[in-house]
Amino acid sequence: MQAIGGGDLSVFDDAEFVLLQYARAIESGTVTDQIHDALVRQYSPAEIVALELLVDFYVGLCNYIASVDLPFEGGEFIGWIPEQEAISERFE
């Protein structure tokens, strides 16, 4: 989560990197032939459809949550790039 939130995708292998780039492109509506072609080289058509459905579901969910101003469950949102201390408090 820290790597993705911070934009440091160097920790991911090639297939994961392409998948993350494609997911971001779906979310922002900026899928290019280059991104799609890279994805096709790494994943099957069934996996690509599943990825697209999953990303679209979460984009829709985020839009719904924002539209009804739904509060966070379980307390304060720690952000997309949580500090190590916040992670330790919750998971260690």
- Whole-number Å distance between alpha carbons of 15 and 8: 15
Is the pTM here over 0.85, yes or no? no
- 3-state class (DSSP) for residue 80: coil
52/38 Cα distance (integer angstroms): 15
d(CA 39, CA 31): 11
pLDDT at position 79 is 61
pLDDT tens digit string along 73-88?
A: 766 665 666 667 766 7
Domain boundaries, the chain: 2-91
What is the pLDDT tens value at each position of the chain, 92 positions in all? 777 777 778 889 999 999 999 998 988 899 999 999 999 999 999 999 999 999 999 889 888 888 998 877 766 665 666 667 766 776 76
Cα separation, 11 vs 9, in Å, equals 5
